[in-house]
Structure 1
Amino acid sequence: MADYLLEEKDGFNVLGIGTELKSDYMDFAGINKEKADFWQAVHEDGTIDKLREIAANDYLFVVNEAVNNKMMHYVGVMTKESLPEASRMIQFPKGEYIVVKGKAESEEELSNKLTGIAFGQVLQEANNVAYVGGPNTAVLMGNEDDLKYGEMWIPVIRK
């Protein structure tokens, strides 16, 4: 069984800049390609630097959310400020979250790894809680021993 924690979190907001994922939700290769293209673009065009300049902390959020029947993918930060290019203020509810910790060589690899473990293993094995939708996020927290580290946060309810 994959290691995870259940943690109570206060509600919080993330200012996100995002893209719609157009691949079928079961087309993992297509979704991963769209996410990789998005990550390359936000690094090259300075979006991540702009977000980090207004961030309230060092965390970078990689958010997945269904909005108006569309699969959305965002990069964002906690902030009280705004940017003209921001797509959405994403609201995370107060409550219990599954938390999966991990490390990887790049931010993109870490996000994909945490998402895969959380949705591919933990949610299937955790029979006392359920994910009922809403935004979920990989939280990129920093560097340690030449690796990126962070956590996946998924809001859940008790069964």
Structure 2
Amino acid sequence: MADYIIEDKDSFTVLGIGIELKSNYTDFAGINKEKADFWQTIGQDGTLDTLKSIATNDYIFAVNEAVNNKMMHYAGVMTEASIPEATRVIQFPKGEYLVVKGEEKTSEELSNKLTGIAFGQVLPEAKNFAYVGGPNTTVEMGQRNGLVFGEMWIPIVRK
């Protein structure tokens, strides 16, 4: 089984700028392309830099959340501030989280790897906990030795 830990986290809030994902939830290639296009756009038009400029730490959050039966994807940061471009304040609950750690060459590769491990290996094999919805996020925490490192955080409940 993949390497993971269960960790208690306090509730936290992420300010996000997002898009609705139009691909079917089982169309991983389509979803990944939509996410990659979104990140490329906000990286080029300055939106990501604007978010980073109001962040309280260096973490960049890639958040997935179902809102009103729509699959949403956000770029976000922890902050007390707000900006006009922000589309959602995302509340993460206090409780236990599945945490999968990793590192890759790019942010996109890291996100895809951690998502694949969490949803493709850990959660399907888990016997004593489950993901029952709510926002989940890949957290890009920094770079070391030429690689991007971070974690995936998924709120869970005990079975």
TM range (shorter): over 0.9
- State the match for 1:138 in structure 2: 138
Question: How many percent identity over aligned positions?
Answer: 72
User: For 1:42, what is the secondary structure of its paired residue?
Assistant: helix
- State the match for 1:2 in structure 2: 2
Alpha-carbon distance between aligned partners in 1 of 2:60 and 2:29, rounded to the nearest angstrom:
24
Runs of 4+ in 1 over 4 A off after TM superposition: none
User: For 1:102, what is the secondary structure of its paired residue?
Assistant: strand
- State the match for 2:19 in structure 1: 19
Instruction: Extract unaligned runs of 5+ from structure 2.
Output: none
User: For 2:32, what is the secondary structure of its paired residue?
Assistant: helix
**How do 1:43-58 and structure 2 match up within 5 A?**
43-58=43-58
TM score, norm. by length of structure 2? 0.99
> What do residues 44-65 of structure 1 show as CA deviations (whole Å, max 9, x unaligned)?
0111111110000010000000
Alpha-carbon distance between aligned partners in 2 of 1:33 and 1:52, rounded to the nearest angstrom:
23
Alpha-carbon distance between aligned partners in 2 of 1:29 and 1:11, rounded to the nearest angstrom:
32
Matching of residue 102 in structure 1 with residue 102 in structure 2:
yes
Cα offset, 1:92, TM superposition: 0.1
Code of the residue aligned with 2:101 in structure 1: it is: K
> What do residues 5-30 of structure 1 show as CA deviations (whole Å, max 9, x unaligned)?
00000000000000000011011111
- State the match for 1:119 in structure 2: 119
Cα offset, 1:124, TM superposition: 1.1
Instruction: Extract unaligned runs of 5+ from structure 1.
Output: none
Matching of residue 75 in structure 1 with residue 75 in structure 2:
yes
User: For 1:36, what is the secondary structure of its paired residue?
Assistant: helix
Alpha-carbon distance between aligned partners in 2 of 1:59 and 1:126, rounded to the nearest angstrom:
28
Question: How many pairs does the alignment contain?
Answer: 159
Alpha-carbon distance between aligned partners in 2 of 1:40 and 1:147, rounded to the nearest angstrom:
19
Alpha-carbon distance between aligned partners in 2 of 1:31 and 1:10, rounded to the nearest angstrom:
29
Code of the residue aligned with 1:78 in structure 2: it is: M
